[in-house]
Chains A and B, each alone.
Chain A
Amino acid sequence: MNVGLPHFLTVAAVLFCLGLYAVMSRRNAVGILMGVELMLNAANLNFVAFSRYVQHGIDGQIMAAFVIVLAAAEAAVALAIVLAMFRNFGTVHADTVQSLKR
């Protein structure tokens, strides 16, 4: 076996589909956020893999750095919303809350 681009793409596809499954099946809002993080990591793996095996530059890695920064911002805002939801409604289940304020 010679490790190449398809192997990394397969790992990323598995990660993406696991994240998709978590987003669709979890009720806990933090669990949904974990699924989103898995999907973002899969996208990042693809960026870095294509940058190494096809494009031969640094652009894919720079895009991966941007994705990491935006994922951090997204996690901060999403967890703040989860905390506000828990304070206002006493639950973190995404299917029981229908408004963001009391």
Chain B
Amino acid sequence: MTGDLIFILLALLTVVPAVWVVSSRNIVHAGFGLLFTLFGAAGLYAYMGADFIAVTQLMVYIGGVLVLILFTVMMTRVPSGGRRTHGLDRYVPAGVFAALVFGVLYKTITSVEWGGSEQPAMPTIAEIGTNFMTSYIFPFEYVSLVLLAALIGAAILIRERRDEQPADGENGTAEREVQQ
């Protein structure tokens, strides 16, 4: 009974701020909604006995990705504020399509006999570490390479190109003045 209550609370903590994330006009508010959604998802992982995934979610998503998103939002604010004059032509097709997808998913979830039984909860960190170093060693190394390459690529993408300034110097400054 208590377990059900905790599940309901965690599911609400996950889903309700997610509605806020997708519907808020203010992108900063959406970012803070994402904070609660990711926290709720971490709680659901913990509820399912996936302690390592829950802690990783807290550290990587909330400590890393969300901070990155909020910094980007704050660095790219356009001071004029959002324009509020656009019709429903973007919201209605998106809403209808998302509702259709949810209908198909929900029908599948309720009609399939999933079977199986609940696995008793146990500590998973040691087993995950053993698997990373044995049967998953190649994916583990590949994913670390991908992460390194992505981070180097991101750093190259946003670095200031001071060495190329003389090449397009006049053009660049002229356009910047036009923008101001």
Contact = CB atoms under 8 A, between A and B. Distances in A.
Contacts of B90: 24-25, 27
B175 to A, nearest CB: 7
Interface string B130-144: 011000100100010
Given A6-B109, A25-B90, A53-B118, A83 B11 contact: no
Interface in A8-60: 8-11, 13-22, 24-28, 30-31, 33-35, 37-38, 41, 44-45, 48-49, 51-56, 58-59
Nearest to B114: A5
A62 B154 contact: no
A3 B175 CA distance: 60
Main secondary structure of the interface of A (DSSP, over half): helix
Contact of B37 (A6, A38, A84): A38
Contacts, number: 223
A69 B154 contact: no
Contact of B151 (A14, A66, A73): A73
B48 A58 contact: no
Given A24-B93, A25-B22, A62-B128, A68 B57 contact: yes
6 closest cross-chain pairs (CB), A and B? A24-B94, A73-B150, A80-B154, A25-B94, A21-B98, A54-B116
27 contacts: A9-B109, A15-B15, A15-B18, A15-B41, A16-B105, A18-B98, A20-B97, A21-B94, A21-B97, A24-B90, A24-B93, A30-B27, A30-B31, A34-B21, A53-B116, A61-B124, A68-B53, A68-B61, A72-B61, A75-B64, A75-B68, A77-B153, A77-B157, A79-B68, A79-B154, A87-B158, A92-B78
